[in-house]
Amino acid sequence: MTQVATPGYGQGMSPNMPKTPPRQIRIGDTWYDFDAAAKAMGTERAAVIRELIDWYIREPGAKLPERPNRSIVEAARVVRRNEEDTA
């Protein structure tokens, strides 16, 4: 039987292992509203933040990400506050 080496096998590789280290920032409860807004736009918070950073540092071709309708954020905030009240 011939054994074949699998690149990356046993080196901690997994589909969910990010290529970049996590960064920490302090954000209040609007973080949860931001999550709901990003999901409503079919994306995630990290992707929106990366787009904002690229735009801010004037990366060539970078554009501001599209924003959701304000009603999405307001609805998410109502749900979050109701959940906090019942907890």
Tens digits of pLDDT across the chain (87 residues): 445 555 554 555 555 667 888 888 899 988 999 999 999 899 999 999 999 999 999 999 999 999 999 998 899 889 888 888 887
Domain borders along the chain are: 30-86
* Per-residue pLDDT, 66: 93
With beta carbons less than 8 A apart as the criterion, state whether 80 and 29 touch: yes
Q: Give ∠ CA 7-11-20 in degrees, rounded to 5.
A: 100
* Amino acid symbol at 35: D
Torsion, Cα 75 78 84 87, to 10 degrees, reads -90
* Per-residue pLDDT, 15: 58
pTM for the whole thing? Answer: 0.69
With beta carbons less than 8 A apart as the criterion, state whether 34 and 44 touch: no
